[in-house]
Amino acid sequence: MSTWLHRLLTFFFPARCLFCGRPGQVNVDGLCADCARKPAERVYRYFALKVCREMYTLECRAPMRYKKPFRSALWRFKFHGETSLAKPLAAQIARILDAEQTFDCIVPVPISAERLRERGYNQSQLIAAALSEKTGLPCRALLTKIRENRTQHMLTAQEREANVQGVYACADADGLRVLLVDDIVTTGATARACARTLYQAGAAQVQCVCCAIVLPDSTQ
C-alpha cells in the first residue's frame, strides 16, 4: 500500500489499542505506549477434570479478563473476519507463558468443518499458529470436532457441559505435554472437554491458554 494511502486510511480509521481501545499509535503487538509498559494482567482459572478415575487440574490462563474494550476486539476477531488480530493476541499470550515450563506442542481448540466453511477460519487455530511462530513450539491440530453442537455462548453453564460431551476426538497424543489454545474461556466446558479428550489419547500434561477469561464474579 502506498504511503499516502496508508496515511489517509490511518487518519480516517486510526488504529486502536487492543487493550484500552484508544485510537492512536500502536506498537507491533497492537498496544499503545501506556499499555505496552504495563505488565500483563495474568488471569487464572482452575478446573477439576476426571478422566477414567484419574483426577486432573486444568489450568487456564489469559493476559486479560473478558471485559470492554478488549471484548470488542475479540468479537471482531472471532466473528467479523479481523484475522490480523491473531498476531497481537498471540503476542499477549506469549507474555504470560512461564519460561521454565516446557511443552511439546501447541494444539488449537477445533471448530467443526461446517463452522469452518461458514466463517472461513478457526480463530483458535490462527492464534495457535501465531503463538507457534512466536515461541518456536510446533502447532499440531491433534483435536477434531466430530459433530456440530449448539453455539456455546447462549447456553447456561450446565447446558454447556452437556453440549460438549463426545464432540471432540484425538487420534494420538501419547506422552505429549500440550499447550491447548482457546480464544475465550467462559465456563471452561470446551477447554475441559478438549483436555479430557487429549488425556484419553495419552497426553502427559495439558494446560490451556486463551486471550481472555470470564471470571465468575466479573462485571462486564
Indicate the residue among 32 and 85 with the shorter CB distance to Zn ion: 32
Binding of residue 17 to Zn ion (CB under 5 A):
yes
C-alpha cell at 108: 488449537
Burial of 69 from C-beta contacts in 10 A (0-12 / 13-18 / 19+): middle
Which uninterrupted H or E stretch holds 147?
none
Return the residue of 29, 32, 74, 130 that touches Zn ion, per CB under 5 A.
32
Which uninterrupted H or E stretch holds 208?
strand 205-209
Indicate the residue among 19 and 199 with the shorter CB distance to Zn ion: 19
Binding of residue 193 to Zn ion (CB under 5 A):
no
Given a contact cutoff of 8 angstroms between Cβ atoms, the answer to whether 35 and 20 are in contact is yes
Q: How far is the CB of 76 from Zn ion (least distance, A)?
A: 16
Q: Applying CB under 5 A, which part among 13-21, 79-87, 102-110, 156-164 lies near Zn ion?
A: 13-21
Q: How far is the CB of 96 from Zn ion (least distance, A)?
A: 17
Binding of residue 26 to Zn ion (CB under 5 A):
no
C-alpha cell at 219: 462485571
Binding of residue 70 to Zn ion (CB under 5 A):
no
Angstrom distance (rounded) from CA 170 to CA 184: 21
Indicate the residue among 34 and 148 with the shorter CB distance to Zn ion: 34
CB neighbours of 90 closer than 8 A, spacing ≥ 6?
A: 127, 128, 130, 131, 133, 134
Binding of residue 20 to Zn ion (CB under 5 A):
yes
Return the residue of 29, 30, 35, 182 that touches Zn ion, per CB under 5 A.
35
Binding of residue 64 to Zn ion (CB under 5 A):
no
Binding of residue 19 to Zn ion (CB under 5 A):
yes
C-alpha cell at 148: 456440530
- The site for Zn ion (CB under 5 A) is made up of 17, 19-20, 32, 35
